[in-house]
Amino acid sequence: LGERLVRLEHPAVARHALHEPVGNGPYRLVESVPGDRWVFEANEAFPEELGGRPYLDRYVYRVIADDATQASALRAGEVDLLTRASPANLATFRADTTIDLIRYDDRDYDFIAWNPRRPVFAEAAVRRALTMAIDRPGIVSAVLEGQGAVAVGPVGPWHWAYDSTDVPLPHAPDSARSLLAAAGWADSDGDGVRDRDGRPFRFTMYVTPRDKWRRVATIVQSNLRDVGVDMRIEVREVPSLQPLVTSPDRRFDAFMLTWIPDEMLDDRAMWSCDQLAHPVHFASYCNPDLDAVLDSLLVVTDPETYAGLVDRYNEILAADQPYTFLFYPSHLAAVRVVLRGVEMDARGNWLSVADWWLEPTAR
């Protein structure tokens, strides 16, 4: 591949890669419709020494935002696999003999990105207050039905160097109120919303239409209201949200997203001071101490030193809270029993895709 295609650190190239990806695996991308589907066909030339041609001639990755619609499509045989079944549908799937459930842990975490270019989010103490106001254990219980854990930072239990003794910021509304008051945010007019210098603590949270995000956002909205912060919820489809959060001027107050970190923890595009214009540098966050940690993670070979750097990575972001790290979800894939060979783990949803095959009756 030429340099034009592989130098993904350049923001313009990164945007190109999102829409016109290049690969050399067992399948070829033959069609992509933003926000709707990706269509792949078997790569007839895939080397035998790497496994040869995959079993399936074609597979279609569909984008279905609504959890109920996903469940209906699976049960009707319109799709054969949900990589991440909604906890709300688990009871239905467990009762359906045509569906298998595969439990796996991935590298992902869910977060709220705060935009520090907005004055209300400019201070780390205020961002910590927001995190402590949010009942993340309650969200894991109510929305994930216990299928996950409250997140400490970007590196979760999937990574060998994750320190299981690390404790996330607690749900502590009284402490949140004290931090907000110390930062000068007080309800001066008795309307229930804190203000400072005549400006109310009010902002808009963008979420996508998926049921999970609506439910999380509603809980967050209630939690923040209890400490005097007025959060408005605005639901946007991914195609309309993406330019707002990836553009260099970051046209958002806050938004919720799921992120899957790089296996090698090369997260410089998201956090480094010299990458502020990168599409995924959502938080416009710059900390030279973190830059040094991220650079060192790519060159250190001693396991003990490396583990210390990973711990420091989580520690810095836990202190500054450019994101509120919500949770590390555990996942259940829902698979029609006629689709065989499916395996998933932290290495990816498509780990065994070349070995998937359909029962003859389903072809």
Question: CA–CA separation, 76 vs 73, rounded Å?
Answer: 5
Widest Cα–Cα separation across the chain: 73
**Residue 322 · residue 127 · CB < 8 Å:** yes
Residue 193 vs residues 25, 145, 224, 331: alpha-carbon distances, Å: 54, 31, 10, 37
pLDDT of the residue at 3:
40
On whether both 208 and 122 belong to a single domain, the answer is yes
Residue 74 phi, psi dihedral angles, 5° rounding: -70, -45
pTM of the prediction?
0.79
- DSSP code at position 193: S
What's the number of domains the chain is made of?
A: 2
Question: Rounded distance, CA 330 to CA 145, Å?
Answer: 10
Q: Which residue has the tokens 């994750």?
A: 162
Same domain for 189 and 97?
no
Q: Return d(Cα 83, Cα 286) in angstroms, integer.
A: 34
**CATH code for the domain in which residue 70 is found:** 3.40.190.10
How buried is 185 (Cβ within 10 angstroms: 0-12 exposed, 13-18 middle, 19+ buried)? buried
CA–CA separation, 196 vs 189, rounded Å? 11
Q: What are phi and psi of 182, to 5 degrees?
A: -65, -30
∠ CA 273-279-284, rounded to 5°: 40
Burial 11-47 (b: 16+ CB within 10 A, else e): beebeeeeeeeeeeebbeeeeeeeeeebbbebbeebe
Look at residue 12 in the predicted model and tell me its pLDDT.
Answer: 52
Residues 154, 299: one domain? yes
DSSP one-letter string for 262-286: -TT---HHHH-GGGTTSTT-TT---
* Residue range of the domain that includes 142: 109-329
Both 182 and 280 in one domain: the answer is yes
Given this model, what pLDDT does residue 4 score?
38
Distance between CA atoms of residues 187 and 261, nearest Å: 39
- CA 214 vs CA 148, 205, 235: distances in Å: 18, 11, 8
- Residues 269 and 136 placed together within one structural domain of the fold: yes
- Do 173 and 251 belong to one domain? yes
Q: Tell me the average confidence (pLDDT) per consecutive run of 10 residues in the chain, 363 residues long.
A: 42 56 84 90 93 94 90 94 89 94 90 97 98 98 92 95 95 98 97 97 95 94 98 95 95 96 91 96 96 97 97 97 96 94 88 92 80
Q: Cα separation of 260 and 267, whole Å?
A: 10
Same domain, 149 and 80: no
Q: Are residues 185 and 73 in the same domain?
A: no
- Could you give the angle at the alpha carbon of 275 between the alpha carbons of 302 and 7, nearest 5°? 80
Residues 134 and 217 in one domain: yes
pLDDT computed for residue 19 by the predictor:
62
Q: Tell me: do 66 and 138 sit in the same domain.
A: no
CB 123 within 8 A of CB 114: no
Beta-carbon contacts of 277 under 8 Å, excluding residues fewer than 6 positions away, are 11, 248
Q: How high is the pLDDT of residue 8?
A: 44
303 with 342, same domain: the answer is no
- Give the pLDDT score at 5: 39
User: What is residue 9's predicted lDDT score, i.e. its pLDDT?
Assistant: 47
- Say which amino acid occupies 39: V
Are 253 and 226 in a shared domain?
Answer: yes
Residue 358 pairs in a beta bridge with: 339
How far is residue 267's CA from residue 300's CA, in Å, rounded to a whole number?
15
